[in-house]
Structure 1
Amino acid sequence: MPSRPRPWIVTDDLWRRVAPLLPEHPVRADGRGRPWRDDRRALCGILFVLHTGLPWEWLPQELGYGSGMTCWRRPRDWQAAGVWDRLHRLLLEELHQAGHIDWERAAVDGSHVRAMGGGEHTGPSPVDRARPGSKHHLIVEGRGIPLSVSLTGGNRHDSTQLFPLLGAIPRIRAGGRGRPRSRPKTLFADRGYDYPVVRRRLWRRGIQPKIAKRGVPHGSGLGKVRYVVERTFAWLHGMRRLRTRYERRTDIHEAFLKLGVCIIALRHVIRLR
């Protein structure tokens, strides 16, 4: 039985999709400067840090991924160029065309992570003795495929991020005719989203809210459907650089977060074979 490749190896499936999205690298007119490090090798270094949690400066040189600073610059630049957002949309389009996105239901939740270095989008975490933290907010469809993700301070309430998350779901076209899809029919959520204004706004958007009631005993039964978002968080936070936030710069951590979402979506694409 063939062994599975290491998760930081850039497979042909990933590279074939991401390579056309990368911006052209700058070239000096006088031809001077260091030679440009191959983008595929740099992406391997980024994935190595994402999965292992290793500091950038400890990236092993013998692996041939380039220096830690070189690999650090690429997610910064590619995040600014919108590479991860376009890759995520491309993967969702592939899944939608294959009929593999369950638009009938979706689930939303937020998850705290400790922020070791502080920085923007951090705040006193109410679940970690007011230590600095950030929060990942996530919407997934019925199978657990991420539809949109965002990063805020650890003291931001989940309900405040629901509608920005819904607005960030890409408009997905299945090819040919027909209106693009970007809205689930039903949304499942826990008690943190149980507010009349939230329910009203969901109904206005044509989304049926299935939200656990505050002030009632546990056992609503919604967990049988809502577990998919918890499972996707487990997949994301299995990537060690997302389990704890070490980046002071928000754009670097967001790049890791969106790359993690793309990796999960790509796994679903590969399973379709």
Structure 2
Amino acid sequence: MDSGRWDWIVPAGLWEIVRPLLPAPRIRRQGGGIAGVPDEAVFAAIVYVLVSGCTWRALPPCFGASKSAVHRRFIIWSRAGVWEQLHRAVLDRLATGNLLEVSRVVLDSAHVRAKKGGRTHRPVTRGPG
């Protein structure tokens, strides 16, 4: 990776954590595909989309990869469990460095499944008298 090229979007040290978690690229018999786009550039593009909230279509060309190639690699890496492994690896590093503070934890509702058939709150009705 070009040292420092993606520092503006990828936090220091994050690439070194994610690199060993990425699956080996598949070789496509018909040729073409995503092998020509460096993983570092694709990772930076994915981080950009996730941090900025832009759509895949709004991805700027500075990453040197097409929007479809970046999205396709995001799907491949998601199916391979890269994001869960990265989350665990970052937590492990923080814990090892005694930097993980869990006394104040916020639960993000996007990570909690809402179960059907749960309790509902209905007004209490009182009978006569």
1:27 deviates by: 0.7
CA distance in 2, matches of 1:151, 1:73: 26
Partner of 2:123: none
1:101–1:12: structure 2 CA closer, same or farther, 3 Å change rule? closer
- Return the letter of the residue paired with 2:53: G
The alignment status of 1:70 with 2:42, answered yes or no, reads: no
1:13–1:28: structure 2 CA closer, same or farther, 3 Å change rule? same
1:35 deviates by: 5.3
Total equivalences in the alignment: 109
- Aligned-residue identity in percent: 30
1:84 deviates by: 1.3
The alignment status of 1:98 with 2:102, answered yes or no, reads: no
SS at match of 2:77: helix
1:56 deviates by: 1.1
When normalised by structure 1's length, the TM-score is: 0.35
SS at match of 1:107: coil
SS at match of 2:24: coil
1:47 deviates by: 1.6
CA distance in 1, matches of 2:59, 2:19: 23
How do residues 67-216 of structure 1 correspond to structure 2 at under 5 angstroms? 67-102=66-101, 105-110=103-108, 135-136=109-110, 150-152=111-113, 156=114
- Return the letter of the residue paired with 1:66: A
1:99 deviates by: 2.0
The alignment status of 1:15 with 2:15, answered yes or no, reads: yes
Higher strand share: 1
Check the 8 A contact 1:42/1:74 in 2, yes or no.
yes
Higher relative contact order (CA 8 A, sep 6+): 2
CA distance in 1, matches of 2:16, 2:60: 26
CA distance in 1, matches of 2:34, 2:69: 11
1:53 deviates by: 2.1
- Return the letter of the residue paired with 1:97: T
When normalised by structure 2's length, the TM-score is: 0.68
1:67–1:81: structure 2 CA closer, same or farther, 3 Å change rule? same
Partner of 1:47: 47
CA RMSD of superposed structures (Å): 2.5
Partner of 1:172: none
How do residues 186-265 of structure 1 correspond to structure 2 at under 5 angstroms? none
1:57 deviates by: 1.5
CA distance in 2, matches of 1:100, 1:35: 37
Q: Deviations over 1:145-167 (max 9, x none)?
A: xxxxx154xxx37xx8xxxxxxx
- Return the letter of the residue paired with 1:107: V
Structure 1 gaps, min length 5: 111-134, 137-149, 161-273
Q: Deviations over 1:32-72 (max 9, x none)?
A: 224522111111111222222222112222x0341111111
1:96–1:39: structure 2 CA closer, same or farther, 3 Å change rule? same
CA distance in 1, matches of 2:12, 2:101: 27
Check the 8 A contact 1:56/1:68 in 2, yes or no.
yes
CA distance in 2, matches of 1:99, 1:10: 23
SS at match of 2:105: strand
1:78–1:100: structure 2 CA closer, same or farther, 3 Å change rule? same
